[in-house]
Amino acid sequence: METIVNTARAVNTLISLSQANEAKFLQSITGLCAAAEFSDEITGQHILRVNRYSELMARTMAMEKNTCIWIGQVAAIHDIGKVAIPHIIKLERKLTARERREMEMHTIVGALILDKMMELHVEEPRMELARSIALNHHQRFDGKGYPGLSKSNGELIKLKSRENEAYEGLSPLKGKQIPVIDLIVSLADIYDALRSKRQYKAPFSHQEALKLIRLDDRSGSTGEQVFSKEVFEAFMDNHQAFDEIFLSMSSNALNRS
């Protein structure tokens, strides 16, 4: 919990100092995202690309103007919870079941960090959007994602703890329980992860990433099952623009499609 409070206070100070200046606000958001990226091997370019993909999708789906702008500013906050688990992120082997559960808690921790920021009186509506994204970007439309947030009667719990045990026996969100914006960021993040070089894999080409999003032969899941028909079709209508964004904003792009 100390990590959550300290991170929230630091970012709260940055945002409070910069609210009068939009450029400084965006610098503060980028710094918050970078805190998470430093605990992973992905780069600052990933932050900017996820924002661009997400804004493109929101505009394609004719979302409200401010929503399109805001998702393009805060989408990359999705992994802020990773600041609490650098020891897990850095492991260069398959995670144990216990480590996997701890890793999945970065969604809860991210939401708790943003909750704490809002408790500290940051009057910034984009933080609500960022919180939802941080919490739900690993949910799946078919209900096979994480974290578990729903009781057996469908009632959603309130976040109080960062301990795994507090969420045992709960079900992931499913279908319309998941905000469309969170599914958009999920797809944007997965696409960029597929295209990017990691310690454990070479970068995939655009066509390889497209094939896996359409039908993941590792799990048998289709894009519609994971992201919803609406979000998947919006991606398919714009997938070439995703490739263009990646190539124009990457220093290590795989220059083949």
221 within a domain of the structure (yes/no): no
pLDDT at 94 over 80: yes
Record the tokens describing residue 42, joined without a space: 């992905």
List the CATH number of the domain containing 93.
1.10.3210.10
Determine, yes or no, domain membership for 203. no
Give every CB contact of residue 114 below 8 A, 6+ residues apart in sequence: 8, 77, 80, 127, 130, 131, 134
Q: Where are the beta strands (DSSP E) in the chain?
A: 148-150, 171-172, 215-216, 221-222
Q: How confident is the model at residue 38 (pLDDT cuts 50, 70, 90)?
A: low
Q: Which residue has the higher pLDDT, 173 or 37?
A: 173
pTM of this structure: 0.85
Q: Count of CB atoms within 10 A of residue 3's CB?
A: 15
For the chain, what is the mean pLDDT? 84
pLDDT (0 to 100) of residue 255 = 46
pLDDT at 226: 98
Within-domain flag for 56? yes
Q: pLDDT tens, 134-184?
A: 999 999 999 999 999 999 998 999 998 888 889 999 999 999 999 999 999
Instruction: Name the residue with higher pLDDT: 121 or 191.
Output: 191
> How many domains are contained in the chain?
1
Residue 171 bridge partners (DSSP):
150
Give Cβ neighbours of residue 165 (< 8 Å, ≥ 6 apart): none
Give the pLDDT score at 246: 96
Burial class (CB in 10 A: 0-12, 13-18, 19+), 87: exposed
Q: Residue 108 sits in which domain range?
A: 2-176
Tell me if 231 is assigned to some domain.
no
What residues contact residue 4 under an 8 Å CB cut-off, 6+ apart?
84, 109, 112, 113, 116, 162
Instruction: Give the span between the Cα atoms of 86 and 196, in whole angstroms.
Output: 20
In a domain, 220, yes or no: no
Is the pLDDT at 248 greater than 90? The verdict is yes
Cis peptide before 172 (omega within 30 of 0): no
